[in-house]
A and B are shown apart, each in its own frame.
Chain A
Amino acid sequence: MSDERHGPPPAPSLFRGINVIFRMQIRRLVRGRKLRLGVISVVLVLFAVVAARYAGASRDVGVDRAAEIAAEAVSSGLRWGFFHLLAFLIPFLFNAQAIGEEVEGRTFSYLSTRPTGRFAITVGKWLAGTVLSVGLLVGSVLVLHVAAYATEPTALVEEIGSTLRAAGSLGLLTVFYCTVCTFWGAVAPEGSGIISALYLGVIEFLFSFLPGYFRCISMSYLAQQMGGLEKGGLMPDSAPDIPVEIGVPVIALMTLIFLGFAALVVQVSEYRFNRA
């Protein structure tokens, strides 16, 4: 290095800061164990659903019945494999520790002593986990559709609309869950895993089975409704129908609220530096 000192450059823009944090986080996720775990989970679910679908159609059935079996398999797979399992697991894997692992791993100081600003740290990390989660889940839904209808080309085309609708609402729900996990990771980095799991398990999973308006507390129920899935749980007829024009703004607003609070918490926290 030359002996002349030029001094530090001006602080980068918010967008550039987010972009750098996003790339760093994607690289870490792709090279770490979490992505592998996520892919394995998705493959297992896909394998189970597709295996069940073709086991059900192993007898010599007519074309209509075969298409029905495929539709049932996709519907059940979406409900139990995706909305009730992977939609929780994948965001949890990619986002619950996004802030927490930096704080607990003591690498947060490398980012927080840069002029980028902590807002960029929060948003960049959230975005990386969210893009990977949504990509993995929505991509898997499409794979499920193709695999389930592989032997029924007419139904494969005809049913793509309803599958895309379900994939869209699953994507929106995934964005929300990623935000929730990021939020709890920011609020309680040391216990982000358990708190996120509790929140998702109680508020999102259990509440989606309650009767009446109680289940509207769960964004999972709203997303399932928008995705065209049938109502299940306790006294399903007592639960209100949720149209897309209500469901989308509600989930989007909740996402923004959680993201805003996550950014605020990261902005003002001293985290574990605040220890003797």
Chain B
Amino acid sequence: MTEASIRTVRLSKWYGKVTALQEVSLHLGPGVWGLLGPNGSGKTTFLRLVAGQLKPALGEVQVCGHRPFGNPEALRRIGLCPEADALYDELTAVEMVTSLAELSGYDKGEAKERAIEALKSFGLEEAMDRRIGGYSRGMRQRAKLAQAVVHDPDVILLDEPLTGTDPVSRQTILKEIRRRADAGAVVLFSTHVLPEVEALTDQVLLIARGQLVAQGRVHEIRGLLEEHPHHVRVECDRPRELAAHLVSVEGIVGVKFAPQGAEFMSWDPDATYTAIADAVVGLGIDVWSITSPDADLESLFHYLVERSTAGAGTGADAGVGGARRIASGQGYQQQIQAPGGSQ
């Protein structure tokens, strides 16, 4: 059996004159991948193409080596939790998940066993024999997740999987997703709530205006953003003295003062941290905290979306390519595409 994977080559999709997805090429192996992007950026279109619900307008998508649209060999390896809050309200959760497991190839008895097991793993053991029409939003979400994994798929596609869930079930869901990824599945989940991603993985795909603007690990992508110097915030008792000492350090290009500290802008964060440590020891400064306010996913997301929006149009006139740097890491490609730049 081929390894769990998603591969796309110049994958494009448009709805009439609107370009939903433009020339997305990537390869995802086992693990959890966060699919990020603003509303309307093309995340759901991408998931639908991978799930075999849409046919590519151009390019190619393969799931475990097979094209998914109408292909049982690919579809049997896919589990999809769609975004829409739509379920079979006339059925109980166990009836629905059992039927869908049967459609995945299990006989009736085994399908029911697996359905019960899947529903239990998402905390629905108490409610599984009740009709779904009477479920709360969070319970419906968990029933959707249970049907997505009941057949042990190699590729799990989750579109906004944590919508409407309470903190306890959120933990249950995240744990279950992580467990399945650890067991060798590719889990691709889309969201626009960044802490959800950070709680689960640091591997992300960022889509904006239908284009893949970045793929890889958060800190590695951050390192490749050349137009935004890293920010290092130091809260201490003598920020001006510290700043005067550091201003000549190579890589530091600016400083901002706050009431109880200073924020340094640097192209070389490692050298900056070293210089701060030396200065603190040498000058005897009391330091309360050192943080990197723009090293989180949210900052990265905003930089990349801003970058994409600034240079790109939509449709055929959209600028693609630009400055591209490739770094190796975990066998995946880290890339940034800056619209409007030179390749």
Docked Cα-Cα span, A16 to B99, in Å, equals 11
Q: List the B side residues contacting A118 at CB < 8 Å.
A: 70
* Given known contacts A8-B152, A16-B102, A276-B18, A115 and B72 CB-to-CB distance under 8 angstroms: yes
| Interface stretch of the complex, out of A18-26, A37-45, A143-151, A250-258 | A18-26
In angstroms, Cα B76 to Cα A117, docked, is 10
8 A Cβ contacts from B101-125 to A: 102-106, 117-118, 120-121
Check if B105 sits within 8 Å of A5, measured CB to CB.
no
Asked if residues A7 and B154 are in contact (CB atoms below 8 Å), the reply is: yes
> Which one of B70, B75, B87, B104 lies within 8 Å of A107 (CB-CB)?
B87
Q: Which of A27-35, A72-80, A158-166, A229-237 contacts B (4 or more CB under 8 A)?
A: A27-35
Residues of A within 8 A of B84 (CB): 106, 109
Q: How far is the CA of A184 from the CA of B95 in the complex (A)?
A: 29
Alpha-carbon distance A32/B70, docked complex (angstroms): 30
**Which listed residue, A3, A109, A116, A268, touches B183 by the CB 8 Å rule?**
A3
Complex interface: chain A residues within 8 A of B105 (CB): 8-12, 115
Point out which of B76, B84, B100, B106 has the most chain A C-beta atoms below 10 A from its C-beta.
B76
CB-nearest residue of chain B to A9: B105
List the count of A-B residue pairs having beta carbons below 8 Å apart.
125
Among residues of B, the one whose C-beta sits closest to the C-beta of A6 is B152
B232 within 8 A of A: no
Q: Which of A20, A27, A109, A273 contacts B103 (CB 8 A)?
A: A20
A91 at interface, CB cutoff 8 A = no
Closest CB of chain A to B49's CB: distance in Å? Answer: 9
Stretch at the interface among B51-59, B214-222, B287-295: B51-59
A28 touches B154 (CB 8 A): no
Give which listed residue, B48, B76, B87, B90, contacts A8 with CB less than 8 A.
Answer: B76
Contact bitstring B186-206, A, C-beta under 8 A = 1, else 0: 000000000000000000000
- Which chain A residues border B15 with CB–CB below 8 Å? 274-276
Contact B154 A8 (CB under 8 A): yes
Q: Determine whether the beta carbon of A7 is less than 8 Å from that of B88.
A: no
Q: Are B100 and A112 in contact (CB under 8 A)?
A: no
Q: Which of B63-104 contact A (CB under 8 A)?
A: 70, 72-73, 75-80, 82, 84, 86-88, 90-91, 95, 99-100, 102-104
Quick one: given A113-B80, A115-B76, are A21 and B18 in contact (CB under 8 Å)?
Answer: no
Q: Give the complex CA separation of A106 and B53 in angstroms.
A: 12
Q: Does B185 reach chain A (CB closer than 8 Å)?
A: yes
**A105 on the interface (CB 8 Å rule)?**
yes
Nearest chain-B residue to A32 (Cβ)? Answer: B90
**B-facing mask of A93-115, CB < 8 A → 1, else 0?**
00000000000011101111111
- Cα–Cα distance between A118 and B104 once the two chains are bound (Å): 13
Cβ-defined contact, B53 with A113, below 8 A: yes
* Shortest beta-carbon distance from A49 to chain B in Å: 32
Q: Which residues of B contact A267 (CB under 8 A)?
A: 70
Of all chain B residues, the one with the shortest Cβ separation from A270 is: B54
A1 to chain B, nearest CB (A): 5
**A273 partner, pick from B54, B118, B153, beta carbons under 8 A:** B54
Q: Is B244 an interface residue (CB 8 A)?
A: no
Q: How far is the CB of B338 from chain A (nearest CB, A)?
A: 25
Does B147 reach chain A (CB closer than 8 Å)?
yes
CB of A109 within 8 A of CB of B53, answer yes
- List residues of chain A with CB within 8 A of the CB of B38: none
Number of A residues with CB within 8 Å of any CB on chain B: 41
- B residues less than 8 Å from A5 (CB atoms): 152, 180, 183-185
**A10, A106, A117, A268: the one within 8 Å of B82 (CB):** A106
* Residue A60 at the chain B interface, CB threshold 8 Å: no
- CB-CB under 8 A from A273, the residues of chain B are 48, 53-54
**Among the interface residues A8, A110, A113, A118, which one has the most CB atoms of the partner chain B within 10 A?**
A113
Q: Which of B55, B72, B80, B87 has the most CB of A within 10 A?
A: B72
Give chain A interface residues in 107-139, CB to chain B under 8 Å. 107, 109-118
A173–B120 Cα distance when bound, in Å, is 47
Quick check: is A17 within 8 A (CB to CB) of the other chain? yes
- A3-B151 CB under 8 A given contacts A23-B99, A28-B91: no
Cβ of A20 and Cβ of B99 under 8 Å apart? yes
Note all chain B residues with C-beta closer than 8 A to A111: 100, 103
A4 part of interface (Cβ distance < 8 Å): yes
User: Is B40 on the interface with A (CB-CB < 8 A)?
Assistant: yes
> For the complex, is B335 an interface residue (Cβ under 8 Å from A)?
no
Bound Cα distance A273, B121 (Å): 29
Does A9 contact B51, Cβ atoms closer than 8 Å? no
Task: Please report which residues of chain B, range 12-26, place their CB below 8 angstroms from some CB of chain A when the two chains form the complex.
Answer: 15, 18, 20
How far, in angstroms, from A276 to B46 measured CA to CA in the complex? Answer: 11
Residues on the B chain within 8 Å of A105, using CB: 86
Task: Decide yes or no whether B316 CB sits under 8 A from chain A.
Answer: no
Other 16 A-B pairs with CB < 8 A, given A6-B152, A8-B151, A115-B103: A1-B121, A8-B105, A8-B153, A9-B151, A10-B76, A12-B102, A24-B99, A106-B84, A107-B87, A109-B53, A113-B75, A115-B104, A270-B53, A270-B54, A275-B15, A276-B18
Give 30 A-B contacts (CB < 8 Å), ordered by A residue.
Answer: A3-B179, A4-B183, A5-B185, A8-B76, A8-B152, A11-B72, A20-B99, A27-B95, A28-B90, A28-B91, A32-B90, A105-B86, A106-B82, A106-B84, A113-B53, A113-B75, A113-B79, A114-B103, A114-B104, A115-B73, A115-B104, A116-B104, A118-B70, A270-B53, A270-B54, A273-B53, A273-B54, A276-B18, A276-B40, A276-B45
Q: Which 7 A-B pairs rank lowest in CB-CB distance, beginning with the nearest?
A: A115-B72, A9-B105, A115-B76, A106-B86, A114-B103, A11-B72, A106-B84
